[in-house]
């Protein structure tokens, strides 16, 4: 049987203690971050956020899960200008439907198809609390608009039908998730649309887009 020297045993014990301590602190930070607000989590909110974000973010609460109760969709359309100066309003492009089509039947769907547009919508709605499209949180609201716009422009391109894109508009659809077949609950599952304002499109909006 191998006999460890005293210095080796000390190193092993100290390393094990540090590993267990670090694991305990990490799990404790995750617990406090997901738990309901309390004095400890409020006092160390900045430190907890530094541990959790962005790799370990969670979109649910530890003691009160709140699953989505609505299906949210995003469509976009653009206005283009022809060589003779005539402006045309194009048909709606179903952005969310494109992502769903890419996910359905795919055994290993892309993280971008699953989450990018959905998170962009969450970001937009969190910074635009009113229904008229006005920005509610200053620079963060402007950033949310720019992010949503660039996602759509990456898919639609600089031109549509051979004409340069002038501006873009989004509409957000929301529909209540239908109750299960065994439930007696009645719910209106029709889609309700919110049309956002037209946003101008500049060449700088395509910067860095493939």
pLDDT in tens, the chain (210 residues): 677 788 888 888 899 899 999 899 889 888 888 888 888 888 888 888 888 876 776 666 666 666 678 889 999 999 999 999 999 999 999 999 999 999 999 998 888 888 899 989 988 988 887 765 555 567 888 889 999 999 999 999 999 999 999 999 999 999 998 888 888 888 888 899 999 999 999 999 998 887
Nearest CA among 77, 79, 88 for reference residue 171: 77
pLDDT tens for each residue of 111-124: 888 889 998 998 89
List, in sequence order, every residue forming a beta bridge with 172; answer none if it has no partner: 74, 194
Total residue length of the chain? 210
Tell me the H-state helices in 35-137: 39-43, 45-52, 95-103, 111-127
Half-sphere exposure of 184 (CA within 13 A, CB side): 0
Nearest CA among 113, 92, 82, 102 for reference residue 191: 92
pLDDT tens for each residue of 157-178: 999 999 999 999 999 999 998 8
Residues with Cβ within 8 Å of 67's Cβ and at least 6 positions away in sequence, in order, are 60
């Amino acid at each position: 049987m191998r006999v460890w020297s005293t210095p080796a045993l000390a190193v092993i014990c100290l390393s094990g203690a540090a590993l267990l301590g670090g694991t305990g602190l990490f799990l404790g930070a995750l617990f406090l971050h997901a738990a309901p607000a309390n004095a400890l989590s409020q006092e160390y909110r900045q430190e907890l956020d530094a541990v959790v974000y962005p790799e370990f973010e969670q979109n649910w609460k530890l003691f009160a899960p709140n699953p989505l109760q609505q299906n949210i969709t995003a469509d976009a359309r653009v206005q283009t200008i022809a060589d003779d100066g005539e402006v045309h309003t194009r048909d709606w492009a179903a952005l969310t439907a494109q992502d769903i089509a890419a996910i359905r039947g795919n055994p290993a769907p892309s993280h971008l198809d699953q989450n990018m547009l959905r998170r962009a919508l969450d970001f937009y709605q969190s910074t635009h609390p009113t229904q008229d499209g006005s920005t509610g949180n200053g620079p963060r609201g402007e950033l949310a608009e720019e992010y949503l716009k660039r996602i759509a422009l990456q898919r639609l391109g600089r031109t549509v039908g051979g004409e340069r894109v002038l501006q873009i508009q989004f509409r957000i659809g929301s529909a209540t998730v239908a109750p299960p077949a065994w439930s007696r609950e009645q719910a209106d599952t029709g889609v309700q649309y919110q049309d956002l304002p037209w946003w101008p499109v500049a060449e700088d909006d395509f910067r860095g887009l493939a």
